[in-house]
Copies of this chain bind each other. A is one copy, B any other.
């Protein structure tokens, strides 16, 4: 397991962590101030500053990317499936231009939440089948661009509205069906927030292996959780024992960034520099 205590060279900042404090250009400037050398930008934050400007800002700052957030939201009624497909193809093009190593896929829950306006459904099994087919379709396009896709299993609390892939096992089952030869085209993005509770997480990380481990995200689970989406914690403030999870992915050969992604009304209310200083301190001590 790598020693993070001496510096933060393996810290990547998911830009949603400070999305309320400034635009993507301001975030990139703040990363430069704090010696943060990688980010994972969100598409809406990229779009807000203009795509070409975002590409230039990343390049001029010499930033690495640890991923691109996000593709997916595959579940839709028939009228919206072409829209979803094309939207995901644009995500591939953008990720390529930005130099991202993978696209993080949040696969969508029930269609009415994934692609609003879709006919309402309670058929989660059907949604999962759609996700399978849509990833297969997206992979064809992504492979032409040599852009790996990282399925992110989300906590079961999001099964209805954000992702019907809810365990590492389920994500890896999809990988095995769609990319049985482990070509590198498909893998998983594991966020401790989503997987820490899972009694099977350690054997599933071992099953994933280096080939499938495309991204590793950290934050913390707060007790109580005041808001199901936007009360994620700073590492160390909650109940997740992060180091054993990082040890497990690194034991498989994962040697990438430890990406900090915190959706938090509390942290969004603090100055950007304070948030980044805290991220760095916690990265060195509890991650």
**A residues neighboring B (CB under 8 Å):** 110, 113, 122-124, 128, 155-157, 159-161, 164, 166-167, 170, 196-199, 221, 223-225, 228-229, 238-241
- Please tell me if the beta carbons of B199 and A239 are within 8 angstroms of each other in the complex: no
Across-interface contacts of A225 in B (CB, < 8 A): 157, 228
Select one of B161, B167, B224 contacting A199, CB under 8 A.
Answer: B167
Copies of this protein in the assembly total 2
Bound Cα distance A229, B227 (Å): 11
Across-interface contacts of A170 in B (CB, < 8 A): 199
- Please tell me if the beta carbons of A239 and B122 are within 8 angstroms of each other in the complex: yes
Bound Cα distance A159, B164 (Å): 19
Contact residues of A: prevailing secondary structure: loop
15 A-B pairs whose Cβ atoms sit less than 8 Å apart in the complex: A113-B223, A124-B197, A155-B156, A155-B157, A157-B225, A157-B228, A159-B197, A160-B223, A160-B238, A160-B239, A161-B223, A161-B224, A166-B197, A166-B198, A224-B229
Given contact pairs A123-B241, A128-B199, A161-B224, a sample of 16 additional A-B residue pairs in the complex whose CB atoms are under 8 Å apart: A110-B239, A122-B239, A122-B241, A124-B196, A124-B197, A156-B156, A156-B157, A156-B197, A157-B228, A159-B196, A160-B221, A160-B239, A164-B197, A166-B197, A225-B228, A228-B228
- Please tell me if the beta carbons of B156 and A198 are within 8 angstroms of each other in the complex: yes
- Please tell me if the beta carbons of A241 and B124 are within 8 angstroms of each other in the complex: yes
**Smallest beta-carbon distance A85→chain B, Å:** 24
Across-interface contacts of A155 in B (CB, < 8 A): 156-157
- Please tell me if the beta carbons of A157 and B157 are within 8 angstroms of each other in the complex: yes
The 7 closest A-B pairs by CB, nearest first: A159-B197, A122-B241, A156-B197, A160-B239, A157-B157, A156-B156, A160-B223
Bound Cα distance A160, B238 (Å): 10
Bound Cα distance A223, B229 (Å): 12
Across-interface contacts of A110 in B (CB, < 8 A): 239
Bound Cα distance A196, B160 (Å): 10
**Nearest-neighbor residue (CB-CB) of A221 within chain B:** B160
Across-interface contacts of A240 in B (CB, < 8 A): 122
Pick the most buried of A155, A238, A239: most chain B CB atoms within 10 A of its CB.
Answer: A239
Across-interface contacts of A196 in B (CB, < 8 A): 124, 159
Pick the most buried of A123, A124, A197, A240: most chain B CB atoms within 10 A of its CB.
Answer: A197
Across-interface contacts of A228 in B (CB, < 8 A): 157, 224-225, 228
Across-interface contacts of A123 in B (CB, < 8 A): 241
Pick the most buried of A128, A160, A198, A221: most chain B CB atoms within 10 A of its CB.
Answer: A160
**Nearest-neighbor residue (CB-CB) of A194 within chain B:** B156
Bound Cα distance A55, B61 (Å): 73
